[in-house]
């Protein structure tokens, strides 16, 4: 039985792009240009996954997500919101509205295929934990080998589970780091243990946080949600 995916997108070229990636995975695409019509459909019909444009009309992606989350058929359906790379406001509103994950424009084949496969039941329950938001701040980094000689890095993105950092290199996968960085709005700096999970030729490193304290998790979640 085909996996039914609801797509809410104003650009026909984007709908064609999504459909071209969905069909080889045996996904049936039901598409709408009008988000109000799509919301009425989602309130009647259950689907296995939803992709909605953040700037959809007449309901934007966040308003649409709220209606879907309040519906009986799709209250827990995986929902991916399509947003611009630097659209922090929509990221935050979408997070509050119940988006499971985000796709950035222009759509990327690898990322899109990964989301569609996840909507078929692979690891989707963990997606919200990985939602990343742009986050620029200085990060003091200590290693076990050079604990008295901190490195000074720059963060690029943050999620509940980790960070993307800009460095001059010298780090390796699996390495444990002690990070210290300030949060916005004058909150107390966070001090976290992390592990390098990916290195890039550019020097960027991705880290996962290890054993976050409740107050650390709350501080990061508050940043992702933004001001009330």
For residue range 22-34, list pLDDT tens digits in order: 999 889 999 999 9
Cβ–Cβ under 8 Å, residues 72 and 83: no
58 and 142 share one domain: no
87 and 172 share one domain: no
pLDDT at residue 189 in the model: 87
pLDDT at residue 127 in the model: 57
- Residue 135 reports pLDDT greater than 70: yes
Cβ–Cβ under 8 Å, residues 192 and 207: no
Last residue in a domain, options 81, 97, 128: 128
47 and 91 share one domain: yes
118 and 197 share one domain: no
**123's torsion region: left (phi>0), alpha (psi -120 to 50) or beta?**
left
26 and 107 share one domain: yes
31 and 80 share one domain: yes
Which CATH number covers residue 121?
3.40.50.2300
pLDDT at residue 81 in the model: 96
Average pLDDT on 116-127 reads 65
Q: Bigger pLDDT: 214 or 121?
A: 214
- Residue 186 reports pLDDT greater than 70: no
pTM for this model (two decimals): 0.66
- Residue 121 reports pLDDT greater than 90: no
Between CA 104 and CA 87 the distance in angstroms is: 9
Q: If you ran DSSP here, which 8-state letter would residue 2 be given?
A: P
Half-sphere exposure of 213 (CA within 13 A, CB side): 7
pLDDT at residue 151 in the model: 86
Q: What is the mean pLDDT of the chain?
A: 88
Spatial CA neighbour of 21 closest among 116, 146, 144: 116
- Report the Cα 200 to chain-centroid distance in Å: 20
Q: Bigger pLDDT: 18 or 200?
A: 18
pLDDT at residue 123 in the model: 43
Range of the structural domain that residue 54 is part of: 3-128
Last residue in a domain, options 77, 108, 128: 128
112 and 154 share one domain: no
Last residue in a domain, options 85, 101, 128: 128
Cβ–Cβ under 8 Å, residues 223 and 183: yes
Query: Which tens digit of pLDDT belongs to each residue from 55-90?
Result: 999 999 999 999 999 998 999 899 999 998 778 899
189 and 202 share one domain: yes
pLDDT confidence tier of residue 147, bands split at 50, 70 and 90: low
pLDDT at residue 187 in the model: 67
Share of the chain above pLDDT 90, in %: 51
Which CATH number covers residue 165?
2.40.10.220
179 and 105 share one domain: no
Between CA 195 and CA 127 the distance in angstroms is: 19
pLDDT confidence tier of residue 122, bands split at 50, 70 and 90: very low
Q: If you ran DSSP here, which 8-state letter would residue 188 be given?
A: P
Query: Which tens digit of pLDDT belongs to each residue from 5-18?
Result: 999 999 999 999 99
Cβ–Cβ under 8 Å, residues 77 and 47: yes
**Domains held by the chain: number:** 2
pLDDT at residue 226 in the model: 80
Q: What is the DSSP string of 31-94?
A: EESSHHHHHHHHHHS--SEEEEETT-SSS-HHHHHHHHHTSSTTTTS-EEEEEETT-HHHHHHH
11 and 117 share one domain: yes
Cβ–Cβ under 8 Å, residues 61 and 16: no
63 and 173 share one domain: no
Share of the chain above pLDDT 70, in %: 92
Between CA 214 and CA 203 the distance in angstroms is: 31
100 and 70 share one domain: yes
């Amino acid at each position: 039985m085909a996996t039914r995916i609801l797509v809410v997108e104003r650009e026909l070229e984007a709908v064609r792009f999504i459909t071209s990636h969905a069909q080889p995975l045996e996904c049936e695409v039901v598409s709408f240009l009008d988000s109000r019509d799509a919301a009425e459909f989602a309130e009647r019909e259950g689907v296995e996954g939803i992709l909605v444009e953040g700037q959809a009309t007449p309901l934007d992606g966040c308003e649409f997500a709220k209606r879907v989350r309040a519906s009986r058929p799709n209250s827990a359906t995986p929902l991916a919101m399509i947003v611009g790379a630097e659209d922090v406001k929509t990221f935050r509103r979408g997070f509050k509205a119940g988006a499971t994950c985000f796709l950035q424009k222009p759509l990327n084949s690898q990322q899109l295929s990964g989301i569609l496969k996840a909507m078929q039941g692979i690891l989707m329950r963990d997606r919200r934990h990985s939602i990343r938001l742009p986050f620029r701040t200085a990060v003091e980094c200590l290693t076990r080998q050079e604990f008295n000689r901190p490195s000074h890095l720059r963060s690029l993105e943050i999620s509940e589970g980790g960070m993307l950092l800009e460095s001059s290199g010298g780090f390796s996968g699996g390495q444990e780091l002690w990070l210290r960085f300030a949060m916005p709005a004058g909150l107390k700096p966070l001090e976290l243990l992390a592990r390098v999970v990916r290195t890039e030729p550019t020097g960027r490193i991705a880290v996962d946080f290890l054993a976050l304290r409740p107050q650390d998790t709350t501080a990061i979640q508050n940043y992702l949600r933004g001001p009330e």
